[in-house]
A and B are shown apart, each in its own frame.
Chain A
Amino acid sequence: NAGVTQTPKFQVLKTGQSMTLQCAQDMNHEYMSWYRQDPGMGLRLIHYSVGAGITDQGEVPNGYNVSRSTTEDFPLRLLSAAPSQTSVYFCASSSGGVNTEAFFGQGTRLTVV
Chain B
Amino acid sequence: AQTVTQSQPEMSVQEAETVTLSCTYDTSENNYYLFWYKQPPSRQMILVIRQEAYKQQNATENRFSVNFQKAAKSFSLKISDSQLGDTAMYFCALDDYKLSFGAGTTVTVRA
Contact = CB atoms under 8 A, between A and B. Distances in A.
The answer to whether A and B belong to the same complex is yes
A92 B99 contact: yes
Nearest to A108: B43
A101 interface: yes
A33 to B, nearest CB: 7
Interface string B86-111: 00000100011111111110000000
A58 interface: yes
A58 to B, nearest CB: 7
Q: Which DSSP category, helix, strand, loop or mixed, fits chain B's interface?
A: loop
Q: Which DSSP category, helix, strand, loop or mixed, fits chain A's interface?
A: strand
A58 B101 CA distance: 13
Most buried by A among B91, B99, B103: B99
Range of interface residues on chain B?
A: 20 to 34
A92 B104 CA distance: 18
A22 interface: no
Interface residues of A, number: 22
Nearest to B97: A98
Interface in A63-79: none
A107 B50 contact: no
Interface of A: 33, 35, 40-45, 48, 58-59, 88, 90, 92, 94, 98-99, 101-102, 104, 106-107
Instruction: Please list the 3 inter-chain residue pairs (A to B) with the smallest Cβ-Cβ separation, ordered nearest first.
Output: A104-B45, A42-B101, A43-B101
